[in-house]
Amino acid sequence: MKPFAYERPVDVSSAVTTVAGRPEASFLAGGTNLVDLMKMEVLTPELLVDVRHLVSRRIETLPGGGLRIGAGVSNNELAADRRIRRRYPVLSQALLAGASYQLRNLATVGGNFLQRTRCPYFRDVTMPCNKREPGTGCAARDGHQRDLAVLGASDSCVATHPSDMAVAMAALDAVVHTVGPAGERSIQVNELYRSPADGPERDTVLERGELITAVELPASPVAATSRYRKVRDRASYAFALVSVAAALEVRDGSVTEVRLALGGVAHKPWRAATAERALLGRPATEANFRAAAEAELAAAQALAGNAFKVPLARNTVVSMLRTLTEEA
Ligand SMILES: Cc1cc2nc3c(=O)[nH]c(=O)nc-3n(C[C@H](O)[C@H](O)[C@H](O)COP(=O)(O)OP(=O)(O)OC[C@H]3O[C@@H](n4cnc5c(N)ncnc54)[C@H](O)[C@@H]3O)c2cc1C
Ligand code: SF4
């Protein structure tokens, strides 16, 4: 690992100023992704600015019934919180489907959103990769394709976003709060991630030095009937081939509310808005679930090695909606 300096600033504004002013500086939270990438020399920051003690580790109930989650809350603390388990079970299940107990104790909410892709060519500095080194090409297109994206990819990058938590957050319409050099702002999780067509080296719309301080979950009665399902190559310690976060309300046999997001299929958590529109007001039948999933996946562009993801995503959506209907 290359030598680096370490700083523990006293407040948020000095952390933001330091990272904004120094291109070789990086925020450090739990370090479970960043330090891995430093060991492989995929990332080589010269200065780590520790922010874990600066951002809140509290989960607060908001006046309207939503929750505000500090960016420093660990993945395990969030998954175990009684309010999350009862009112947003999809989020607790998504967190528990990720990594290991020990890693989730260190990993933070802020770091989880910003973890980098697990594309093997991104993590191998001997291979061309537009995300790691712009303009060098994409080794994945003609390489190992099993984990690649089928929705929203570009010629320059076909990688997927690895976070389980972010898929649940996308389905729940969560909003990320930040402090950056230009002040504070709020960003819908569904607008946090950039398209790989616009330069795959930048994953998100965040500016250099912009710190995630918290994330808010709006009050959502339908979220109490929600679930997360992750399909992967082995039962634990593996990233999603396909995952589905869903919440459903059925009245008199028809869908009155639905939230649907997919993981493992795109460069970002994929909010399945087309499928949601196709379902709303329709009878909650298997045929309609299938038609909605197919409408969402109509734009899919698969490669030979990841074409299985399209029927897998469709079937997982159908099975999940069937389960939620039976439970309702
Ligand atoms: C073996 C292994 C298995 C895993 N399996 C899964 C899995 O199945 N599913 C899954 O979702 N994840 C999985 N993970 C990834 C894990 O969830 C992430 O590593 C973790 O969530 C990152 O959080 P962190 O606090 O450690 O971030 P760090 O590693 O400290 O930081 C990650 C990035 O976020 C930036 N950052 C951190 N905090 C902030 C902030 N507040 N504001 C702005 N920028 C910030 C850092 O600069 C860095 O770029 C796995 C990881 C490992 C090592
Ligand atoms: S898919 Fe993206 S991350 Fe993977 S090698 Fe290609 S450019 Fe790099």
Collapsed DSSP state (helix, strand, coil) of residue 4: coil
Ligand 1: nearest atom to the Cα of 33: 29
**Distance of CA 82 from the midpoint of ligand 1 (Å):** 23
**Distance of CA 159 from the midpoint of ligand 1 (Å):** 17
Q: Which tens digit of pLDDT belongs to each residue from 58-93?
A: 999 999 999 999 999 999 999 999 999 999 999 999
**Distance of CA 219 from the midpoint of ligand 2 (Å):** 37
- Tell me the CA distances in angstroms from 225 to 208, 222, 258, 306, one per residue in order: 38, 6, 10, 31
Q: Which tens digit of pLDDT belongs to each residue from 104-115?
A: 999 999 999 999
266 and 153 Cβ atoms separated by less than 8 Å: yes
Any atom of ligand 1 within 6 Å of the Cβ of 55:
yes
**Distance of CA 81 from the midpoint of ligand 2 (Å):** 36
Any atom of ligand 1 within 6 Å of the Cβ of 32:
yes
Residue of 7, 16, 33 with the most ligand 1 atoms within 8 Å of its CB, for mutation? 33
Average pLDDT, the chain: 97
Q: Which tens digit of pLDDT belongs to each residue from 14-72?
A: 999 999 999 999 999 999 999 999 999 999 999 999 999 999 999 999 999 999 999 99
The residue type of 7 is: E
The per-residue pLDDT for 200 is 97
The answer to whether residue 212 scores a pLDDT higher than 90 is yes
Q: Which tens digit of pLDDT belongs to each residue from 239-289?
A: 999 999 999 999 999 999 999 999 999 999 999 999 999 999 999 999 999
Shortest-distance Cα residue to atom 6 of ligand 2: 138
Instruction: Indicate which ligand has the atom closest to the C-alpha of 236.
Output: 1
The per-residue pLDDT for 3 is 93
Q: How far apart are CA 128 and CA 294, in angstroms?
A: 34
The per-residue pLDDT for 143 is 97
The answer to whether residue 198 scores a pLDDT higher than 90 is no
| Residues 283-304, mean pLDDT to the nearest whole number | 98
Any atom of ligand 2 within 6 Å of the Cβ of 121:
yes
Ligand 1: nearest atom to the Cα of 210: 43
Any atom of ligand 1 within 6 Å of the Cβ of 49:
no
Q: Which tens digit of pLDDT belongs to each residue from 126-173?
A: 999 999 999 999 999 999 999 999 999 999 999 999 999 999 999 999
| Residues 92-104, mean pLDDT to the nearest whole number | 97
**Distance of CA 36 from the midpoint of ligand 1 (Å):** 10
Q: How far apart are CA 191 and CA 170, in angstroms?
A: 9
- pLDDT over 70 for what percent of the chain? 100
The pair of structure tokens assigned to 92 is: 């607790």
Query: What pTM, to 2 d.p., does this model score?
Result: 0.98
110 and 144 Cβ atoms separated by less than 8 Å: no
The per-residue pLDDT for 100 is 95
Instruction: Indicate which ligand has the atom closest to the C-alpha of 105.
Output: 1
Collapsed DSSP state (helix, strand, coil) of residue 291: helix
The per-residue pLDDT for 1 is 73
Shortest-distance Cα residue to atom 8 of ligand 2: 129
The pair of structure tokens assigned to 291 is: 């038609």
The answer to whether residue 296 scores a pLDDT higher than 80 is yes
The enclosing H or E element of 316 equals helix 309-327
Residue of 11, 26, 32 with the most ligand 1 atoms within 8 Å of its CB, for mutation? 32
Q: How far apart are CA 221 and CA 173, in angstroms?
A: 13
Instruction: Indicate which ligand has the atom closest to the C-alpha of 135.
Output: 2
**Distance of CA 203 from the midpoint of ligand 1 (Å):** 14
pLDDT band for 237, please (50, 70, 90 cuts).
Answer: confident
The per-residue pLDDT for 293 is 98
pLDDT band for 236, please (50, 70, 90 cuts).
Answer: confident
| Residues 199-210, mean pLDDT to the nearest whole number | 97
